[in-house]
């Protein structure tokens, strides 16, 4: 498989760095092709703006999505965006490696989504979204670390259910929206706390990497299960 790792951590010696390094070495030794986008090392631009396009279609009123659609048709995204989009076309499986920040992804990764998951590339009138999104046929997995413990991220826990309340907006709102098929996330809880758990997480992650194609997908509904008002049809509730 062609595996793309989108990695967002400032410190190479961090636990996120260790998980990323482990993925590169294990997947490579298993015969996969691996590419890494190390966003901080690349100094990846996080802010979406006019510089993301070689030409601006409407100079009087700048609307980012319209300019994205135009750039997708005319191949006029800035070079850094085009390079990332090319990696996504190449990939069969995308791993996102990041620490959980404010219940979400660090800004540099959010900016990567804003700029790379462009209208006209991963979604749009001519493409669709969710199961019809532009990246369909590819799988994706979140691999994240937390500062709060696992029990805080349960349905009645202080932080809320990690799957339904915290990671849903990434798995459903970004990955699945773009056509990717999200699989169950890998979560290393509070890796900063103790060495014993860190070794366990590395070992669990290694096993997971060995069965990448068998990781269960998150069972989201296809668009055909919704009616014209975007409501889930009664028979699927």
Ligand X SMILES: Cc1cc2nc3c(=O)[nH]c(=O)nc-3n(C[C@H](O)[C@H](O)[C@H](O)COP(=O)(O)OP(=O)(O)OC[C@H]3O[C@@H](n4cnc5c(N)ncnc54)[C@H](O)[C@@H]3O)c2cc1C
- Asked if 198 interacts with ligand X (CB under 6 A), we say yes
Closest separation between CB of residue 13 and ligand X, Å?
6
Closest separation between CB of residue 141 and ligand X, Å?
17
Stretch in the footprint of ligand X (CB under 6 A) among 42-50, 63-71, 127-135, 141-149: 141-149
Closest separation between CB of residue 185 and ligand X, Å?
13
Size of the site for ligand X (CB under 6 A): 19
Residue 228 CA to residue 231 CA, distance in Å, equals 7
* Pairing verdict, β 2-7 and 33-38: parallel
- Asked if 70 interacts with ligand X (CB under 6 A), we say no
Which residues ranging from 10 to 29 are in contact with ligand X (CB under 6 A)?
11, 13-16, 18
Stretch in the footprint of ligand X (CB under 6 A) among 122-130, 139-147, 179-187, 224-232: 139-147
Cβ-proximal residue to ligand X, closest one? 147
Instruction: Evaluate whether 169 touches 104 at the Cβ level (below 8 Å).
Output: yes
Instruction: Return the structure tokens found at 224.
Output: 């055909």
Closest separation between CB of residue 96 and ligand X, Å?
13
HSE, side-chain direction, 13 A CA sphere, residue 235: 3
Instruction: Evaluate whether 85 touches 77 at the Cβ level (below 8 Å).
Output: yes
- Asked if 101 interacts with ligand X (CB under 6 A), we say yes
- Asked if 110 interacts with ligand X (CB under 6 A), we say no
Q: Which residues contact 236 (CB under 8 A, 6 or more apart)?
A: 221, 225
What does the DSSP assignment read for 155-198?
Answer: TTSSS--IIIIISHHHIIIIIITTT-EEBPPEEE--TTT-HHHH
- Asked if 97 interacts with ligand X (CB under 6 A), we say no
Residue choice 59, 60, 79, 102 for contact with ligand X (CB under 6 A): 102
- Asked if 158 interacts with ligand X (CB under 6 A), we say no
Instruction: Return the structure tokens found at 208.
Output: 């997971």
What does the DSSP assignment read for 117-128?
Answer: S-BTTTBBTTTB
Instruction: Return the structure tokens found at 125.
Output: 């009138």
- Asked if 192 interacts with ligand X (CB under 6 A), we say yes
| Closer by beta carbon to ligand X, 155 or else 222 | 155
| Closer by beta carbon to ligand X, 47 or else 158 | 158
Residue 79 CA to residue 54 CA, distance in Å, equals 9
Where do contacts with ligand X occur on this chain (CB under 6 A)?
A: 9, 11, 13-16, 18, 99-103, 145-148, 191-192, 198
């Amino acid at each position: 498989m062609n595996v793309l790792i989108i990695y967002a951590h400032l410190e190479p010696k961090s636990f996120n760095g260790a998980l990323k390094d482990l993925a590169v070495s294990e997947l490579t030794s298993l015969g996969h092709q691996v590419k890494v986008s190390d966003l901080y090392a690349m100094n990846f631009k996080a802010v979406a703006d006019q510089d993301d396009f070689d030409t601006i279609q409407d100079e009087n009123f700048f609307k980012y999505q319209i300019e994205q659609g135009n750039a997708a048709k005319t191949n006029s995204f800035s070079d850094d965006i085009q390079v990332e989009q090319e990696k996504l076309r190449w990939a069969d499986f995308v791993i996102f490696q990041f620490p959980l920040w404010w219940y979400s992804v660090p800004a540099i990764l959010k900016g990567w989504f804003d700029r790379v998951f462009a209208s006209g590339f991963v979604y749009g009138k001519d493409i669709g979204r969710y199961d019809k999104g532009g990246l369909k046929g590819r799988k994706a997995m979140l691999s994240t670390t937390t500062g709060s413990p696992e029990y805080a991220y349960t349905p009645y826990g202080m932080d809320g259910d990690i799957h339904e309340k915290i990671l849903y907006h990434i798995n459903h709102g970004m990955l699945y929206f773009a056509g990717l098929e999200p699989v169950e996330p890998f979560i290393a809880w509070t890796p900063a706390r103790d060495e014993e758990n860190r070794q366990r997480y590395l070992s669990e992650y290694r096993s997971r990497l060995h069965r990448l194609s068998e990781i269960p997908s998150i069972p989201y509904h296809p668009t055909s299960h919704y009616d014209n008002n975007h409501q889930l049809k009664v028979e699927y509730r």
